[in-house]
Structure 1
Amino acid sequence: MIQPLAYIHPEAKLAPSVVVEPFAVIHKNVEIGEGSWIGSHAVIMEGARIGKNVKVFPGAVISSVPQDLKFEGEDTIAVVGDNTVVRECVTISRGTKDKYKTVVGANCLLMAYVHVAHDCIIGDNCIIANTVQLAGHVEVDDWVVIGGSSAVHQFVKIGAHSMISGGSLVRKDVPPFVKAAREPLSYAGINSIGLRRRGFTSEQISQVQEIYRILYLSGVNNTTAMDKIEMEFAASDERDLILNFFRNSERGMMKGYGA
């Protein structure tokens, strides 16, 4: 299943069912799991750890050396989870001594020309549309959708089940379950359609909506809003995820519309 015009370093570890198309290049210290497909002219560089049934399209480069002047050649990796699709000309840098790895989770879709910089951690089931640029150390939780041509500032965190509109400049953390739009990027409601598609009940969605009304529409600061939410809402996975995300934000949260 390996074309004779492909180059594969003898120390690379490929499962027997991996397909490698002509002119693909696979360096040493690479591992690729069962059923994966590496397209023509893709380059899989040292430190890549590619899971099962991954599709890497032509022109993609996985595990390139970080674009970070502090990088000193340390032994790091780039991980791509099972069933993920990496489309044309995507670039995924390997980690630095901050995390020693860059991770793209399982069942993700990275559309053409996406860049995932060093030490990014992307969860499972994410869709990152064409030409999105993720700076270093960005964290993206599960089930996130990022619209095309968006740019995400380094160290930003994006919460689970959130959806960011195309062309956005993401400078601050985006909390879970929300839609983010406008310029500057702002709260634009909750991602109710996405939550329904993923099996959240009407009661869960209503609770999330009420929590964000307090956080973004009540006119009080975040500390007061979180105290109010803890008093008025019973503990739940959704409530606790939102509160913990706000409390652990380091870059600060995106604002409500017009704030």
Structure 2
Amino acid sequence: MQTSIHPTAVVSSKAQIGAGVEIGPYAYIGEGVQIGDYCIIHPHAVLKGQIEIGPENEFYSFCVIGEKSQDLKYQGEPTYLKIGTNNVFREFSTVHRSTFKGQTTEIGSYNHFLAYTHIAHDCRIGDWCVFSNNATLAGHVVVEDHVTIGGLSAVHQFCRIGKFSMIGGCTKVVQDVIPFSLVDGNPAKLRSLNLVGLKRNHFSEEQIKSLKFALKLLLDGGLNISQALEELEKVTEKTQELMAIIRFIKDSERGVIR
């Protein structure tokens, strides 16, 4: 498959275009953009700034990827965006470069960003995540692997979203989301284990049982977070998932949603 660039597309001579790339009508590819092999850029998509894009990504119409940070501290320094492989950016989605000189906003692989999603400066996104329509991240948010964020939800800056968790639609997140959990509401509350997500990802009954025990302590144990953490650490045979929850809570700077 040969690279195909529509005659009406605007492509900088200083952009790097890989093999088999398709660039549609009226798309804009700016200086400093590096596009990996077999990417698809639909009509009117905009890619600009210092972006390194891996292979087989797809950018739908009117998405704007790599624009400068909206952070008022940004003074025009050279900043970056790095995107892995096999991501989908649907219509009107936006992703911004870092605020700080020489630093990078990072997106992993196999993620799906639905229409009107926004990834702000200095965020770090893992792999296999789904951002539903209008899901919004403020700056410096960390999203681990296999996370689902419901439509019209917003995440406060510097929050962390633990792996295999789910954020319900129209949710306001101002603290860290514990791995494997489901949070929902405004403000967000810890509702349950993300049981459907875990089963879809083939977690064993033993793994799920361990996680149910941990979530029960955090939800219904009548304990504060320090006491719940002490009880979790008393478990003699800890699964990897239980250890992940313990480490996540210990590392939290904003506190965790309960």
Query: Shorter-chain TM-score category?
Result: over 0.9
2:94 maps to which residue? 91
CA distance in 2, matches of 1:35, 1:219: 54
Q: Deviations over 1:144-186 (max 9, x none)?
A: 0000001111111110000111000111111100011133211
Q: Could you say what secondary structure the match of 2:151 adopts? A: coil
The number of equivalent residue pairs is: 255
Q: Which letter does structure 2 place at the counterpart of 1:231?
A: K
8 A Cα contact 1:99 1:119, kept in partner: no
Partner SS for 2:209: helix
Q: Describe the SS at the equivalent of 1:242.
A: helix
Give the 3 Å change call, closer, same or farther, for CA 169–206 of structure 1 in structure 2: same
Mapped partners of 2:242, 2:77: distance in 1: 40
Match of 2:67 in 1: 64
SS in 2 for 1:52: coil
Other-structure match for 1:168 = 171
C-alpha distance in structure 2 between counterparts of 1:111 and 1:36, whole Å: 17
2:51 corresponds to: 48
The equivalent residue for 1:220 is 223
1:139 is aligned to 2:142: yes
List gaps (5 residues or longer) in structure 2: none
Q: CA offset at residue 216 of structure 1? A: 2.3
2:28 counterpart (5, 9, 25): 25
Q: Which amino acid aligns with 2:74?
A: F
Kept in 1, the 8 Å contact 2:172–2:185? The answer is no
2:233 counterpart of 1:239: no
Pair 1:244–1:133, CA change in 2 (3 A): same
- Identify the match of residue 15 of structure 1 among 9, 14, 18: 18
**Contact 2:170–2:185 under 8 Å retained in 1:** no
Match of 1:232, SS state, is: coil
For 2:236 and 2:181, the matched residues in 1 are separated by: 19
1:37 aligns with 2:36: no
Q: Does 1:204 align with 2:218?
A: no
RMSD: 1.2
Please give the per-residue CA displacement for 1:72-105, whole angstroms capped at 9, x wherever unaligned.
2222111222010000011100012288111121
Q: Percent identity?
A: 38
2:183 partner SS: strand
More deviation, 53-62/188-197: 188-197
Q: Separation in 1 of the partners of 2:202 and 2:128?
A: 14
Q: CA deviation at 1:230?
A: 1.3
Runs of 5+ unmatched residues, structure 1: none
TM-score normalized with structure 2 length: 0.96
Scaled by the length of structure 1, the TM-score of the pair is 0.95
| 3-state DSSP of counterpart to 2:237 | coil
In structure 2, do the counterparts of structure 1 residues 235 and 133 end up closer, same or farther at CA, with 3 Å as the change threshold?
Answer: same
Question: 2:185 maps to what in 1?
Answer: 182
Moved over 6 A (4+): none
